[in-house]
């Protein structure tokens, strides 16, 4: 029995041997399934785990990061200290421009 695509619900999932993923400039070719209608690709669990393992060894797999910090008061605003390892990893320095977005109850800080 053929599986229907969970995204478009129109096409069928067929085996694919040429799914390409790119992580930090490294290209991985994986196996999985592809929808005949919308082209959505689903990487097999084994290939996904293999890619993650290799990307970790290469040092390019992003580890989840959740830091806890206290805010400081400065004038009429609050100050958030960015740890030095993030500063170096993101190539930030005093005077760097960042963007701050509010999405629901979350704050997103991105270097520009």
Tens of pLDDT along 44-73? 999 999 998 998 888 888 766 677 788 888
Per domain, the residue ranges of the chain are: 13-58, 72-111
For residue 6, pLDDT over 70 is answered with yes
**Length of the chain in terms of residues written:** 112
DSSP state of 4: B
- ∠ CA 99-58-15 to the nearest 5 degrees? 95
At 15, list the tokens: 């085996």
| 4: Cα within 13 Å, side-chain hemisphere | 5
Residue 88 has what pLDDT?
A: 83
The whole-model pTM stands at: 0.54
- The CATH architecture that domain 72-111 belongs to is Ribbon (2.10)
- Return the residue matching tokens 């067929």: 14
Largest CA distance in the chain: 66
């Amino acid at each position: 029995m053929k599986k229907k695509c969970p995204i478009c619900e129109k096409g069928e999932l067929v085996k694919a041997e040429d799914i390409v993923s790119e992580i930090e400039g490294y290209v991985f070719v994986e196996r999985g399934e592809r929808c005949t209608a919308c082209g959505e690709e689903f990487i097999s669990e084994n290939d996904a785990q293999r890619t993650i393992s290799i990307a970790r060894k290469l040092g390019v797999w992003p580890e989840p990061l959740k830091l806890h910090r206290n805010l400081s008061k400065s004038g009429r605003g609050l100050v958030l200290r960015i740890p030095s390892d993030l500063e170096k990893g993101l190539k930030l320095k005093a005077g760097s421009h960042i963007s701050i977005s509010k999405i629901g109850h979350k704050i997103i800080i991105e270097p520009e």
